[in-house]
């Protein structure tokens, strides 16, 4: 399973690429992931909860007591004591202060968060994909193709684990041949946490560039980044993050609609991992993604290009 959702009381859901772990919430001195989520209310929440239920009730889902050993007596009380000590630690107090500082969090706590009212369609793999029993027409790749329609102006894609395959390169090249602007952001080798995925992507860089695709690679963090007290505050600005590894998965089509979810543009997400996300009919959200490519991403990523001899080169605003 690679799909991610968090729903409360049938009233609100969070969907995106974020896992539940310290490194995904800026609470570690190691690799910090820059992620992206959406908070949804309204009819989309019912669809997300129904999707959760079909996984929860599926034959491939086992109660944990069937696969895990019982804990020793007193273990839970020890865990509580450890948790209480952690909450009272100086590091936890610093983290809480940093977490509460952004205006977004304050608006959320005060029930003053501005919402972007838009139609949102859930796209989700069936749980049968885990067992290799889902028809290809039901998989998320086909669902996304139907939801996207035919782009006419632009495609802006963010995928931390990006392995387009020859078919994907051909599809992007065809869009460019039709006059569309295509921009892609993924991780540079120094920023990725899965080097083997980068090796799968690297062989497609040159044909993508030859086709006219604008290609960016997220730079790694500066050496003193993990010691920076403002780390979390900056990381909470999704695509404008200085986080050491990109983890957000999103794309915008024609500046009119956008996808946010768990789906990477790679064969694993297409064929193996169950994935999910929201396709949102929101010009505001789509244009925020496009604006990131115009303003923020060039400051945080290498622009990859080919020189006159056809050799690959990388440039940043710092000239590196």
Residue of 129, 198, 218, 249 marked catalytic? 249
For 250, how many CA atoms within 13 A lie in the half-sphere containing its CB? 27
The question of whether 107 is a catalytic residue gets the answer: no
Strand order of the sheet with strand 5-8? 5-8, 12-16, 37-41
- Which one is catalytic: 35, 37, 254, 266? 254
Residue in 9, 69, 224, 227 annotated catalytic: 9
Q: CB burial class (10 A; 0-12, 13-18, 19+) of residue 117?
A: exposed
> Which is catalytic among the residues 4, 129, 198, 218?
4
Asked whether 176 and 182 are in contact (CB, 8 A), the reply is yes
CA-to-CA distance for 84 and 68, rounded, in angstroms? Answer: 25
Q: How far apart are CA 122 and CA 261, in angstroms?
A: 10
**Cα separation, 5 vs 68, whole angstroms:** 24
* 247 catalytic per annotation: yes
Taking every pair of Cα atoms in the chain, the longest distance, rounded to a whole number of angstroms, is: 70
Q: Which of 2, 129, 198, 218 is catalytic?
A: 2
Q: Which residue in 129, 198, 218, 247 is the catalytic one?
A: 247
291 is catalytic: no
Is residue 249 part of the annotated active site? The answer reads yes
**65 in active site:** no
Residues with a catalytic annotation lie at: 2, 4, 9, 247, 249, 254
């Amino acid at each position: 399973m690679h799909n991610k959702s968090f729903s409360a009381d049938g009233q609100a859901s969070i969907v995106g690429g974020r896992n539940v772990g310290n490194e995904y919430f800026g609470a570690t001195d190691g690799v910090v992931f820059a992620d992206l989520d959406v908070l949804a209310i309204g009819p989309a929440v019912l669809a997300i909860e129904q999707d959760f239920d079909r996984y929860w009730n599926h034959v491939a889902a086992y109660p944990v007591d069937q696969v895990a050993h019982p804990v020793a007596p007193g273990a839970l009380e020890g865990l509580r004591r450890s948790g209480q000590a952690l909450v009272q630690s100086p590091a936890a107090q610093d983290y809480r202060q940093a977490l509460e500082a952004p205006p977004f969090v304050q608006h959320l706590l005060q029930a003053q968060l501005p919402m972007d009212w838009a139609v949102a369609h859930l796209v989700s793999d069936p749980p049968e994909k885990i067992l290799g029993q889902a028809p290809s027409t039901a998989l998320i790749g086909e669902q996304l193709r139907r939801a996207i329609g035919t782009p006419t102006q632009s495609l802006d894609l963010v995928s931390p684990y990006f392995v387009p395959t020859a078919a994907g390169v051909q599809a992007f090249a065809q869009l460019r041949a039709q006059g569309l602007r295509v921009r892609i952001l993924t991780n540079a080798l120094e920023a990725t946490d899965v080097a083997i995925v980068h090796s799968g992507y690297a062989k497609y860089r040159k044909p993508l560039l030859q086709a006219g695709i604008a290609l960016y690679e997220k730079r790694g963090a500066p050496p003193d980044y993990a010691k920076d007290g403002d780390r979390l505050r900056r990381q909470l600005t999704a695509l404008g993050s200085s986080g050491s590894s990109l983890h957000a998965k999103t794309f915008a089509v024609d500046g009119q609609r956008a996808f946010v979810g768990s789906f990477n543009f790679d064969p694993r997400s297409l064929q193996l991992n169950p994935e999910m996300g929201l396709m949102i009919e929101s010009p505001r959200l789509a244009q925020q993604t496009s604006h990131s490519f115009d303003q923020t991403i060039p400051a945080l990523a290498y622009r990859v290009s080919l020189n006159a001899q056809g050799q690959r080169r990388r440039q940043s605003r710092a000239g590196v």
